[in-house]
Structures are given as C-alpha cells and as structure tokens.
C-alpha cells in the first residue's frame, strides 16, 4: 500500500501551519433543560433496563460535552437509578465528584466497578488515586522497582539485560528530528528543528528492535520525542516493524495533528499503533485562548470525520476528548502549558516553577529516552540538543553493543542515586514539577531500604 502521509489536507490552515483565526463553537442556550428524565425506581429488567440506563447516560454525555455539567449529573444519576452499576455513569460521576473535592464520594462510585472486575483503565486509575488505603509494597527486591544494579554501572551484558527487562516501562524513541512548529512552551521555539531533518542512524534503530525482541518487550514504546512523527513516513515503517517484532507491546505516538486525516489515521492504526494522542497546539505566537482551542478541535474532528465520545473542557486550563476508533485509542488533548506546563529543566524560563524540588523521581529507573542522534538522556524533559543540557547526556547507543549496557551505564546509575530520596535536587531537576512522589512515612521507608542496596561508597555520594 502506498503511504498517503504526504497528501496533507491543509484546509483552514495557513502556509506556515499555524492557526491564527478564531472560530466559534455552538453552545447550549442558557436555561436549556433536559427532557425524558427517568423518575424514581422503575421495575425494569433485562434488555429494557439496559436500554433505558444507556439512553439516560448518552443524553448526559451530550449535555456534559456542551458544558452543562449540572444537567449531565442529573442524567447520570437517572441512569444509576435504573442500573446501579452502569459503568459510564459511575465513571463520569466519579470524575465530577473528584473535581468538586468529594474524594470519598468518587471512591464509592468506582468501588463497585472494581469489585465487579472492571478492566477500564480510567476506573483503575481513579481507584488507585482515591483509595484511602496505602497500596501494598510487593515484589523482590524493594517494591519491585529498585534493585542493587540500578545504583552501580553494569558492564556485564546478561546482568544489564536482566536489569533492563525487569525495569523498563516506557521507551521514548525519536526516529528523526523535524518538527513543523515552534510553540512558545517548547524548546523548539529556539532550537532549530525545521531547517533540516536528521534521522536516527539505521544500525542504532536495528539494535533497539533486536534487543527489545530478544527480551519479549511488553510495555510502552512512544514513537516521538520533540519531533512531529507524522511529518515523515519513516514513522509508519517503524511502527510496522516494531509491531512485527513486539506483538504485545503498547506502541504509542503524540502528534500535533497537522498531517492527520482519515486515511493516515486508519493507516497508522493498521500498522500496529495502540494509542494516538493529538495535541491542539493552537499557535506558536499567542497564549492560551479558549475559543481557538475549541475551534482547532473542531478542525481535527472534521478532518477525521469523527466526533468525540466525551469532551472534558476546563476553560483557561485544559481540553481533553476521546474519539471512538476501533482498534486504537485516540485522545485529543491540550493544556495551558504556558501557565501550568513544565519548564523543561529550566529551558523554558517563562513557565512558573518552584525554587527547589525535594521529591524523588523514578523516571530514570523505569524509562529510556533515545533522541534522533542516538543519545540517551535521563528523562524526556532533558534536551541533549540544547546547549544548557548537553552535559546531561548519559551516552550514545552507537558506542554500545546492546541497549541494555547503554541504559545500565554508570552515568545513569549516578542519576538514580541522586533522584532516589527526599532531598534537594541538583540542576536541571531542582525546578522540575513533573511526577511528584508523596512524602509519606511508608514511602520514605521504601526509599531508605532501597538506599541500603547501594554500595557504601555510592551511598555517601548520593
């Protein structure tokens, strides 16, 4: 099949790919009321019961998407009168209650779903975050995450392979450098990713695929870093190859949507992608604007010929939606990153950040970040192509025989030692707001035990 990724629909987009027009989105009229509510307990059963509950739920979704949360709550509750365990009504009511500060109410909503064996990831995440009981520490050794070999440079291939296989949960894999945008909240605003496109060296890419297949890798591979993955068909080819080599891995991708259309959406799904996240980067030259964000979302829906199942829109802060698409999760998301985003290790100086980070960070224990030139960085918020961050590159895959030995090297072990505990962090982590760990006695106990796995001389230098 000939790739159609180059046949880009630019309708409504100016030549530089930056949206600079404001559209309008229809909103419900003030005072709009719901009709056909289910009133009180109804002696229904079987298919009729399911139909009535599902109808009430779907009407609630429609009102929720239009921003009428109060009406949506009524519909969701009506659905639960008929079917007390309706999963959709329970889930969305739990999210609303959580946002309004009612954590115990939200927990009671999801508890019956978990007890019934729900496999919905949203329900699982809500349950984990809301549970009043501490999650048990299990696994061997400490908590199933920290191992002695994390804290020392490992050069033995089999030992490094075992550590990698036990630890890695996500790989950020940047196949090439090009990005067609320069967003205010991204270092690409001042690092040139437009004038040239540099590709990940072939031998490095083949080594990654070989070594992941060797351990039967089952976790996440994200096919982008600070590039636009749909700007080049090499992403499609890599997705097919990775799916063939890693049949049960979760292959994911983040795109700005400029190169996305109905054909490319189906094509990347058929190539083996599990999860596509579309970011609504409105413009490189203006700050957050509610109307522009909604208009940009409507452009995406029109180009894909699909409407979202649910929209979660928080004016001034965040937009999130889920588009039904068989065989692949499609998520549309945009945050007000200039106000609530990350300062990328101090590179984005206009984004607010605390003066000192004390929280541990587990990213170097469970993720691997590979940039387009084969460099490794401790996490996705360190840019090896920025002058300020070049000292933080921990190696290049071309200098190693396997990805296992590269990830288990002494440079990354040093980062793990430093980021394990509740202590002041050095640059570039000292202002980072990402992935905070709750400071609890139980958490400190786990980390103190993990520190005991370090050799004495390494523990002193951590």
Average pLDDT on 76-95 reads 87
Selected residue with higher pLDDT from 449 and 459? 449
Sheet containing strand 375-377, strands side by side? 310-314, 318-323, 329-335, 275-279, 250-255, 220-222, 170-173, 367-370, 375-377, 395-396
Distance in angstroms (rounded) separating the CA atoms of residues 229 and 238: 11
Mean pLDDT of all residues in 217-228? 93
What would the pLDDT profile of 378-434 be if each residue is shown by its tens digit?
A: 998 999 999 999 999 999 999 999 999 999 999 999 999 999 999 999 989 888 878
pLDDT grade, residue 365 (50/70/90)?
Answer: very high
Query: Are the CB atoms for 366 and 426 separated by under 8 Å?
Result: no
Predicted confidence band at 117 (pLDDT cuts at 50, 70, 90)?
low
What pLDDT is recorded for position 67?
A: 84
Predicted TM-score of the model (pTM): 0.70
Better-predicted residue by pLDDT, 458 or 454: 454
Tokens 């523990």 sit at which residue?
459
Q: Specify whether the CB–CB gap between 247 and 195 falls below 8 A.
A: no
- Tens of pLDDT, residue by residue over 7-23, are 544 343 333 322 222 22
> Taking the alpha carbons of 196, 201, 202, 207 in that order, is the dihedral positive or negative?
negative
Question: How far is the C-alpha of 153 from the C-alpha of 417, rounded, in Å?
Answer: 11
Rounded Cα–Cα distance for residues 111 and 362 (Å): 28
Which pLDDT score, from 0 to 100, does residue 137 have?
32
**Which SS3 state, helix, strand or coil, does residue 319 take?**
strand
Q: Which residue has the higher pLDDT, 96 or 21?
A: 96
- 176: DSSP letter: B
Predicted confidence at residue 284, as pLDDT, reads 54
User: How many degrees, rounded to 5, is the angle at CA 34 between CA 32 and CA 38?
Assistant: 165
pLDDT of residue 171: 96
Tell me how many degrees the CA angle 258-263-266 measures, rounded to the nearest 5.
105
- Determine the average pLDDT of the residues in 113-138: 61
Both tokens of 421, joined, read: 């505990």
Q: What whole-number distance in Å separates Cα of residue 224 and Cα of residue 228?
A: 7
**Furthest C-alpha separation in the chain:** 71
């Amino acid at each position: 099949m000939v790739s159609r990724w180059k046949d880009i629909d630019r309708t409504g987009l100016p030549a530089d790919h930056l949206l600079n027009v404001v559209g309008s989105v229809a909103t419900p009229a003030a005072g709009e009321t719901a009709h056909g509510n289910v009133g009180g307990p109804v002696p229904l059963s079987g298919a009729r019961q399911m139909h009535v509950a599902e109808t009430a739920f779907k009407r609630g979704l429609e009102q929720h998407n239009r921003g009428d949360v109060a009406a949506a709550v009524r519909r969701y509750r009506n659905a639960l009168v008929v079917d007390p365990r309706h999963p959709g009504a329970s889930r969305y009511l739990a999210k609303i209650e959580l946002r309004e500060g009612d954590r115990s109410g939200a927990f009671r909503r999801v508890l019956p779903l978990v007890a019934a064996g729900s496999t919905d990831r949203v329900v699982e995440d809500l349950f984990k975050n809301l549970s009043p009981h501490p999650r048990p520490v299990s696994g061997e050794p400490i908590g199933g995450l920290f191992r002695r070999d994390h804290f020392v440079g490992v050069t033995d291939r089999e030992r490094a392979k075992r550590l990698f296989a036990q630890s890695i949960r996500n790989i950020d894999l940047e196949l090439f450098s090009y990005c067609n945008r320069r967003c205010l909240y991204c270092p690409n605003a001042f690092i040139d990713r437009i004038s040239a496109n540099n590709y990940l060296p072939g031998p490095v890419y083949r080594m990654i695929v070989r070594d992941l297949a060797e351990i039967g890798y089952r976790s996440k591979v994200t096919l982008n870093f600070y590039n636009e993955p749909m700007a080049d068909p090499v992403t499609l080819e890599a997705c097919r190859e990775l799916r063939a080599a890693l049949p049960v891995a979760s292959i994911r991708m983040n795109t700005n949507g400029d190169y996305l259309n109905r054909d490319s959406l189906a094509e990347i799904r058929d190539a083996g992608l599990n999860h596509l996240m579309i970011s609504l980067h409105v413009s490189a030259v203006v700050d957050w604007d509610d109307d522009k964000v909604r208009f940009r979302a409507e452009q995406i829906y029109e180009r894909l010929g699909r409407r979202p199942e649910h929209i979660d829109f928080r004016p001034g802060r965040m937009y999130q939606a889920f588009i039904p698409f068989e065989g692949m999760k499609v998520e549309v998301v945009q945050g007000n990153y200039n106000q609530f985003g990350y300062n990328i290790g101090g590179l984005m100086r206009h984004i607010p950040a605390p003066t000192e980070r004390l929280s541990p960070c587990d990213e170097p224990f469970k993720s691997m970040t590979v940039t387009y030139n084969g460099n490794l960085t401790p996490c996705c918020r360190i840019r090896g192509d920025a002058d300020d961050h070049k000292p933080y590159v921990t190696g290049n895959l071309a200098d190693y025989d396997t990805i296992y030995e590269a990830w288990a090297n002494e440079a990354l072990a040093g980062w793990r030692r430093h980021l394990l505990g509740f202590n002041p962090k050095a640059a570039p982590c000292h202002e980072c707001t990402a992935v905070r760990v709750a400071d609890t006695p139980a958490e400190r106990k786990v980390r103190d035990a993990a520190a005991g796995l370090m050799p004495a001389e390494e523990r002193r230098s951590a």
